[in-house]
Structure 1
Amino acid sequence: MENKNQSLFFCRTTKEQCEVVLQILKKYERASGQQINFQKSSVQFGHTVDHGLREELKGILGITNIGGMGTYLGIPESLGGAKTQIFSYVQDRLQSRASGWPVRLLSKGGKEVMIKSVATAVPTFVMSCFRLPKTVTRKLTSAISNYWWSSSGQSRGLHWVAWDKLCLDKKEGGLGFRGLDDFNTALLAKQLWRLISVLDSLFARVFKGRYYRHSDPLDPIRSYSPSYGWRSIISARSLVNK
């Protein structure tokens, strides 16, 4: 039986640490009875690791493939380049789901349930980790609003009311749909709050060691070469401060 679970292991680029990782994997094989396929495994190195050390560590691990898996848990493994293009897959995923929903067979109440329980849930995981570009959120919002107003599923329909008004609470005359930009900010603020409130978590310890070792995540300090994940999280500082 083949187990296709994906796992990531991080270690320093030293012979000793690679040998420890290899020992752990061998113990797992003996304990579980499952054998790891190193031919289908791959290894990645930082850009500062020289070619000779890379070849030595590849020999120790028995892994010859260079490169990652492309995505991990549905999120792109590499975020280099234009973010609009990188996160375009979220729009494609939502569009493919929306096109398969039975527009003609659903009432407005049914559409409301589909949008609130399914459509806005599609990008939730990626939005809890990264700030989606406004170009992407606009396209996502357009796909959702077209689904709401369309009567046949083939056209965008006539938009009688601005989508921002439909995102207001029902007490205020709206329908309570989520504004994706605000929802994105709320999810990132939740991550920032975890850094403040759960100090002993691995998540907090890693970010503290990298970005705010002698300060607080709410302090407007400048970090050297920050990741897009960190820049996304601190973009919610103003909301958490409020």
Structure 2
Amino acid sequence: MKDMGARQLNNSEKYLGLLVMVGRSKYNSFRVIKDRVWKKINNWKNQFLSPSGKEVLLKAVIQAIPTYYMSVFKHPKNLCKEIAAQMAKFWWRFKKDDHKIHWKSWAKMGTAKSGGGLGFREIESFNMALLAKQCWRVLTKPQSMAAMVLKDKYFRHFTILDSNLGHRPSVMWRSLWGSLELLKEGLVWRVGNGRQINI
């Protein structure tokens, strides 16, 4: 292999910022996201920020960190909960070693402002929404490279909506396939000019 110029990859190798290989423990594979969130939050602990400043930082910076990964892989539930817990601690804490009471659950903080919350994203639901959006792209843009590769491997004779999980699927396909039910819930028929409707 070395004579041909090839090199052996390890589990930590990345391509376009994403992991090439995901091990049996998805939590350990994606733990780097939690670490990045913690580093960002830890850098802000010594600063005296107003509630509005914290809101902007959480929405514009912290919630943006896992977005790229979440559009490809489904994250473990415990990892999503831990990231949400870090955000909640940062929100209710005023100083580095200050421990404050969490007067509202983070789930309620995620409701719209009109409903008494602050509109923070619920990470697990956001993850599923991003995966469903990728499935929608595969469905509506079948000529894209990603759609053709997935179709050839997993649903050659069907559409993605009628696909099966298959034998030994990749982590990415398992993640996308798991979001299909959410996509189907939001689908509606558009009549248009009616030429493709067989009555």
TM-score by length of 1: 0.72
CA distance in 1, matches of 2:64, 2:44: 15
- Asked whether the 8 Å contact 1:147–1:156 carries over to 2, the reply is no
Aligned to 2:63: 120
CA distance in 1, matches of 2:17, 2:163: 31
Aligned to 1:67: 9
Shift in Å, 1:66: 2.0
1:187 to 123, 130, 133: 130
Structure 1 residues 103 and 159: alpha-carbon distance in aligned structure 2, compared to 1, 3 A threshold: farther
Shift in Å, 1:157: 2.5
Runs of 4+ residues over 3 Å off in structure 1: none
1:206 to 149, 167, 170: 149
CA distance in 1, matches of 2:170, 2:37: 26
Unaligned runs of 5+ in 1: 1-54
The amino acid of 2:133's aligned partner reads K
CA distance in 2, matches of 1:72, 1:155: 40
CA distance in 1, matches of 2:154, 2:95: 51
2:106 to 140, 144, 163: 163
Shift in Å, 1:191: 0.4
1:145 pairs with 2:81? no
Shift in Å, 1:234: 1.2
Structure 1 residues 182 and 222: alpha-carbon distance in aligned structure 2, compared to 1, 3 A threshold: closer
Aligned to 1:39: none
C-alpha RMSD of the superposition: 1.6
Query: Comparing both chains, which one has the higher relative contact order based on Cα–Cα distances under 8 Å and sequence gaps of 6 or more?
Result: 2
- Asked whether the 8 Å contact 2:165–2:177 carries over to 1, the reply is no
- Asked whether the 8 Å contact 2:154–2:163 carries over to 1, the reply is no
1:108 pairs with 2:27? no
Shift in Å, 1:154: 2.7
- Asked whether the 8 Å contact 2:45–2:90 carries over to 1, the reply is no
2:26 to 78, 83, 102: 83
Identity over aligned pairs, percent: 35
CA distance in 2, matches of 1:154, 1:189: 40
Aligned to 1:215: 158
Structure 1 residues 222 and 184: alpha-carbon distance in aligned structure 2, compared to 1, 3 A threshold: closer
- Asked whether the 8 Å contact 1:128–1:188 carries over to 2, the reply is yes
Shift in Å, 1:70: 1.3
